[in-house]
Structure 1
Amino acid sequence: MRLVASDLDGTIMGPDNRISDRTVNAFRKCIDAGIEVVFVTGRPPRWLTPLREQLGHTGTVICSNGAILYDLEAGKVTWSQPLDLDGMFTAAGIIRSLYPAVRFAAETVEGFHLEPGFLESAATELLGAVTPAPLTATLGTDARVVKFLARVEGVHPDEFLGTVQPAVAHLVSTTHSAPAVPLLEMSASGLDKAVTLAEYARSRGILPDEVVAFGDMPNDLRMLGWAGRGYAMASGHPQVLAAAYAVAPPFAEDGVAQVLEDLLREL
């Protein structure tokens, strides 16, 4: 084991943004043992504060489902892979033809854009200076969109993904990570967590068999399949549980920490 790669939400972090002391200690013991730790998340860089404040992490974080490499210590993006804007808007048209009530948002390297109705008014207020408006009006031709989001009400998240994914597969990579919200996350075609993690590991001379990975949702599937040992959280999505190398105890029982403690004892 030379590298530990972990998702955040639902894997080591709950809705309260807290990481348990046991989990923090397990990651610190990995680092003390010379094992590299990288977090691989759908979150944008601006939502990484818990890693700094609770874990004291200063390394690289793979953000936005593989579209960004972020240096947490320096506080800067070191690499990004934006979507093709023409392809993105073509995908939006296809999705709207399937779900006329859909609303879109776009995460860029610089910030966040959303259409009216994408979020409830109370949630929109939390975004501060972000003013809802059509994306065609707020995104310039040079916008670096790293994650394109689609949301619609009254549809199960798995059904939403199952309908949209094949329809736009020639334009974007599509997944989801919100277990109870019909919210799709789209990246540049061919890009996902696994692709960027594999390149990150290769740059350090680390082989897939030397990687242990943890995740809980469909956006973690390919990452868990790529890693030599990919653990799905017992509290995770059924599709992920069915495909993973092994199952870690649930998030509520500090499942990642339990597995890491066992693996460290084997060193």
Structure 2
Amino acid sequence: MGAGRMRLVASDIDGTILRRDGLITERTVRALAACEEAGVELVFVTGRPARWLTPLVEQLGHAGTVICSNGALVYDLEAMEVVSAEGIRRAIMLEVRDIVRGIFPESTFAAETPTEFVMETAFAEPRHRSLLEQVRHGELEELVTGDEVVKFMAKIEGISSDEYIRAVAPHVAHLVSVTHSAVDLTMLEMAPLGVNKAVTLAEYAHALGIAPGEVVAFGDMPNDVEMLTWAGEGYAMSSGHPDALAATELHAPGIEDDGVAQVLERKLAGLRLAG
């Protein structure tokens, strides 16, 4: 879609504004604050669950809406409550698990609900065994009793995430939306069928009366592809995954070069000149 005036900025978090050391740079904080001061709406669109939004609160002071779990959940940071959530039916989740396990028997599984993370005991890697003391674990049939799962995860070792998704997606794409975004492990992220970041962002923008051409979006991983192609200006981070870079002709400088801030500074300067 063609780009128009910037009325909404939609940004991924990890690898886009949040560095590997867990910090958002001062330059990026200033650029995002300047957007809000200029009357531009700001929404974050992430694969993270609602309980992992601390960096937005502590480093940005953000108190607005966040689209979480790759679009399956919308959270209000000011009210600290779930606005909406769409879950995978329990029967579908178990069917997908069995399909994936049939292809890769060594796969392990975990699930996000609006309130907690649960996992098969084997999902915890040796380096993360402390997880076993912090979350409910065991058999999925016992851990998930309803249709409340907003993100279903399958993990494996020994192959890349790209190889994993190429082998699995054709067999489950009629049941769930499947993507990946993790950098340090091979893990698939599955949402209810038809749900992704772009779908929920489109609903959010429409409710504000904002057209796709008035949206500037930023992302760096395969789970950002739909959002980057939907937005009037979708910027893939130059430091991002090849799939994200191939999805759009617009490439922001890498996160190490404050790419989001650089683009927003230029866009805001243009708004001031136009005004």
Q: TM bucket by the smaller chain? A: over 0.9
Q: Give the secondary-structure state (helix, strand or coil) at the position aligned to 1:132.
A: strand
> Within 2, Cα distance between the matches of 1:69 and 1:127?
28
- Superposition pairs for residues 72-221 of structure 1, below 5 Å? 72-126=77-131, 128-140=133-145, 142-221=146-225
What corresponds to 1:23 in structure 2? 28
What corresponds to 2:62 in structure 1? 57
Q: Give the secondary-structure state (helix, strand or coil) at the position aligned to 1:42.
A: coil
Shift of residue 143, structure 1, vs aligned partner: 4.4
Identity %: 55
> Within 2, Cα distance between the matches of 1:227 and 1:103?
34
Shift of residue 129, structure 1, vs aligned partner: 3.1
**1:261 pairs with 2:258:** no
Further displaced range: 155-164 or 211-220: 155-164
Q: After superposition, what is the alpha-carbon deviation per residue over 1:200-241, rounded to whole angstroms, capped at 9, x for unaligned?
A: 000000000000000000000000000000000000011111
2:136–2:143 contact (8 Å) kept in structure 1: no
Shift of residue 131, structure 1, vs aligned partner: 3.5
1:115–1:135 contact (8 Å) kept in structure 2: yes
1:107–1:148 contact (8 Å) kept in structure 2: yes
Q: Give the secondary-structure state (helix, strand or coil) at the position aligned to 1:201.
A: helix
Unaligned runs of 5+ in 1: none
2:8–2:215 contact (8 Å) kept in structure 1: yes
**Higher relative contact order structure (alpha carbons within 8 Å, sequence separation ≥ 6):** 2
**1:223 pairs with 2:217:** no
Residue identity matched to 1:16 = D
Further displaced range: 212-221 or 241-250: 241-250
Shift of residue 179, structure 1, vs aligned partner: 3.0
Q: After superposition, what is the alpha-carbon deviation per residue over 1:170-199, rounded to whole angstroms, capped at 9, x for unaligned?
A: 100000001342100000001000000000
2:44–2:66 contact (8 Å) kept in structure 1: yes
Q: After superposition, what is the alpha-carbon deviation per residue over 1:86-118, rounded to whole angstroms, capped at 9, x for unaligned?
A: 111111111001100000000011201101221
**1:48 pairs with 2:57:** no
Further displaced range: 208-217 or 7-16: 7-16
1:138 to 1:126, Cα distance in 2 relative to 1, 3 A: closer
Unaligned runs of 5+ in 2: 1-5
Aligned-residue CA RMSD (Å)? 1.1
> Within 1, Cα distance between the matches of 2:73 and 2:249?
26
Residue identity matched to 2:158 = G
Further displaced range: 121-130 or 219-228: 121-130
1:179–1:237 contact (8 Å) kept in structure 2: no
